[in-house]
């Protein structure tokens, strides 16, 4: 008797339903497993293509397609690889939030290297406090702009679950921020920070489009607005430090 990785209907809520990576339609299951290592990929009822061919791909292939901003890879990541509301998803989210706040704090200190004063313990503590506060404020306002933009455009009627889905997608799709870790090891020009920001912006646009299924123009507008606000906050912090 073949088994499936998707429980029967009723055991999971709608958010856990996998999607076809080609058309985005919900599918009952992605594959049927006959024995360990012996699976058959299921087809989508709507587009008749294999629902998620990434299941058989190495992680590097998925990562390359994510970097290339393929919508199919984002659907695999957000709907099929990390089920919304699953424990794995929550764990990845919590780790990502902590990592991003740390990296944003590092980015602020990187942009203000010349003006930071770490000569005494007190001034170092004061600088770290300001940098960390700046990173928290920056991320809070960024997410607020995204949600306000969505409410204005998509009329989510203050649906908390939809908000969480969007916030999760934005957080997960900001994975390119991790590239900032390399600037801790190797010396890079300041422009690298801006290049990373542009890649994060484009990744956020794709993720927003995937999770909301709205027009690309709206997603571009909302993400550009939120990232613009983030840049203004960065400049404001630059003057404060």
Given the rule CB under 5 A, which residues bind Zn ion?
20, 22-23, 25, 44, 46-47
Question: CB pairs under 8 A, 24+ apart, for 28-37?
Answer: 29/4, 29/5, 30/5, 30/6, 30/55, 30/80, 31/4, 31/5, 31/55, 32/2, 32/3, 32/4, 33/2, 33/3, 33/4, 33/5, 34/2, 34/3
Q: How far is the CB of 55 from Zn ion (least distance, A)?
A: 14
Nearer to Zn ion, 80 or 174 (CB): 80
Q: How far is the CB of 215 from Zn ion (least distance, A)?
A: 20
Three-class DSSP category at 158? coil
Q: How far is the CB of 81 from Zn ion (least distance, A)?
A: 17
Nearer to Zn ion, 31 or 145 (CB): 31
The answer to whether 30 touches 80, Cβ cutoff 8 Å, is yes
Nearer to Zn ion, 177 or 209 (CB): 209
Nearer to Zn ion, 47 or 148 (CB): 47
Nearer to Zn ion, 22 or 134 (CB): 22
Q: How far is the CB of 76 from Zn ion (least distance, A)?
A: 13
Q: How far is the CB of 54 from Zn ion (least distance, A)?
A: 14
In whole angstroms, what is the distance from residue 179 CA to residue 189 CA?
14
Cα 110 versus chain centre, distance? 23
Cα 151 versus chain centre, distance? 19
């Amino acid at each position: 008797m073949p088994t499936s990785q998707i429980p029967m209907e009723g055991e999971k809520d709608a958010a856990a339903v996998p999607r076809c990576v080609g058309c985005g339609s919900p599918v009952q299951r992605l594959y049927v497993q006959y024995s360990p290592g012996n699976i058959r990929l299921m087809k989508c009822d709507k587009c008749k293509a294999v629902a998620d061919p990434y299941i058989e791909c190495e992680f590097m292939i998925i990562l390359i397609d994510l970097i290339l901003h393929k919508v199919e890879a984002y659907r695999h990541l957000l709907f099929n690889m990390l089920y919304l509301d699953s424990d794995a998803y929550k764990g990845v989210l919590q780790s990502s939030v902590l990592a991003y706040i740390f990296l944003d704090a590092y980015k602020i200190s990187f942009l203000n290297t010349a003006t930071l004063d770490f000569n005494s313990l007190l001034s170092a503590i004061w600088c770290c406090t300001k940098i960390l506060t700046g990173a928290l404020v920056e991320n809070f306002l960024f997410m607020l702009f995204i949600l306000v933009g969505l409410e204005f455009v998509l009329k989510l009627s203050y649906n908390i679950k939809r908000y969480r889905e969007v916030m999760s997608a934005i957080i997960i799709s900001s994975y390119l921020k991790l590239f900032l870790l390399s600037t801790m090891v190797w010396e890079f020009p300041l422009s690298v920070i801006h290049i990373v920001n542009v890649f994060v912006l484009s990744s956020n646009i794709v993720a927003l489009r995937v999770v909301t299924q709205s027009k690309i123009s709206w997603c571009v507008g909302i993400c550009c607005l939120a990232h613009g606000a983030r840049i203004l906050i960065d400049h404001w912090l630059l003057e404060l430090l």
